[in-house]
Amino acid sequence: MPTKQRRYPLKAKEAKQIKDEATLKLKLDFDALFGAKANVEVVESDVGLIYLIGGKPLLFKLDQKVLPTLLFDEFTAKAPKVVVDMGAIPYVCKGATVMAPGIVRIEGEFGAGDLVLVADMKHNKALAVGESLMDATTARATKKGPVVKTLHYVSDKIWDYIKTFSE
């Protein structure tokens, strides 16, 4: 558990900047989802910056990029998915890069550098958010090598911290 934390609302201009950046990266219309005047707060902690929209931890900042958390249901429902076999799950849940042999199927279309959701084949549960290393067509044809660089996953420090908000 992080030792220090500071939580405060963002000014309208800063909130718009975060929402605009997330809209571009996630390909979701934040104003349509949450309204133009949605309350955006930031939590500064040992794990980094967590952005709360309507009180829910939906975004975080990693290496100057705004990314979705695995609790962002609107993103996880619409994002392209890379579905992995049961053998890949322990590795993905430790932050490993998703390799082609562990992929069962790819749902949706994406380009290289786009955000994708990594899910398990049995329950279709979100395990990680990653950045694709190739487009969907190439990924479907690839039989070996890395396909998705994992950025946020179940059991990482961001996950552990944001779970305290939803309890």
Asked whether residue 81 falls in the same domain as residue 143, the answer is yes
- To the nearest whole number, what is the mean pLDDT of the chain? 92
Domain boundary among 44, 70, 96: 70
CATH assignment at residue 79? 2.30.130.10
Q: Is the pLDDT of residue 1 over 80?
A: no
User: What is the C-alpha separation between 59 and 22, in angstroms, rounded?
Assistant: 8
User: What is the C-alpha separation between 37 and 104, in angstroms, rounded?
Assistant: 41
Q: Answer whether residue 162 is part of any domain.
A: no
pLDDT single digits (tens) 26-61:
888 888 888 878 889 999 988 889 999 988 999 999
Asked whether residue 130 falls in the same domain as residue 149, the answer is yes
Total domains in the fold of the chain: 2
Q: Is the pLDDT of residue 146 over 60?
A: yes
Q: Answer whether residue 166 is part of any domain.
A: no
Q: What is the pLDDT of residue 3?
A: 57
**What residues make up the domain containing 24?**
5-70
pLDDT single digits (tens) 149-159:
999 999 999 99
Q: Assess contact for 127 and 116: CB atoms under 8 A.
A: no
User: What is the C-alpha separation between 123 and 103, in angstroms, rounded?
Assistant: 15
Q: Answer whether residue 85 is part of any domain.
A: yes
Asked whether residue 64 falls in the same domain as residue 80, the answer is no
pLDDT single digits (tens) 99-113:
999 999 999 999 999
According to DSSP, the residues that pair with 61 across neighbouring strands are 49, 66
Task: Tell me the DSSP string of 52-87.
Answer: EETTEEEEEEETTEEEE-TT-HHHHHHS-EEEE-TT
Q: Assess contact for 25 and 67: CB atoms under 8 A.
A: yes
